[in-house]
Amino acid sequence: MRIACNIITDIMPLYCENECSEETKALVEEHVASCSKCQRTLNTMEESLKVEEVRKADSDIQVIKKITQQIRKDRFSAFLWGALLLSVATVVVCIVAYNIIGVSVAPDGRLIEAFGLIPIAWLFTFISIGLGLFCLHVAC
């Protein structure tokens, strides 16, 4: 049975994407083997599908790369904000602890003061300022 070229051309997309039955495949292959016009159409269709698949794969890779970059950036950003909060908390704890401990004079005349907390508070103040500026202008 000879099938008209336009019917074969209509089912060619299904054949190319392997979405037809074995009987349909056999019909297309049988027709294409004896019809050079449909053979050329099939070759063109298969080539354009390959190009389309390569393009789609490339765009999928680009999307995955962008998502990965965003995740890395978000993770780094979260780390910086966490470090900034910890640093500010350290400053607050040092100042509060210094004020709670207070300054007193021992009976032997020694000054009792939690003096070590002051430079720690200043150190973490500068670290907080640095992290804050970095977060605002560079990373976040």
Nearer to Zn ion (CB atom), residue 5 or residue 118? 5
C-alpha 130/C-alpha 96 separation (Å) is 22
- Strands (E) in 1-140, as ranges, are 103-105, 111-113
Question: Which token pair is 14?
Answer: 């299904």
Question: Which token pair is 73?
Answer: 């950036």
The residue ranges that bind Zn ion (CB under 5 A) are 5, 35, 38
Q: How far is CA 102 from CA 90, 95, 115, in A?
A: 18, 10, 10
Nearer to Zn ion (CB atom), residue 16 or residue 35? 35
Nearer to Zn ion (CB atom), residue 32 or residue 94? 32
Shortest Cβ 76–Zn ion spacing (Å): 60
Shortest Cβ 35–Zn ion spacing (Å): 3
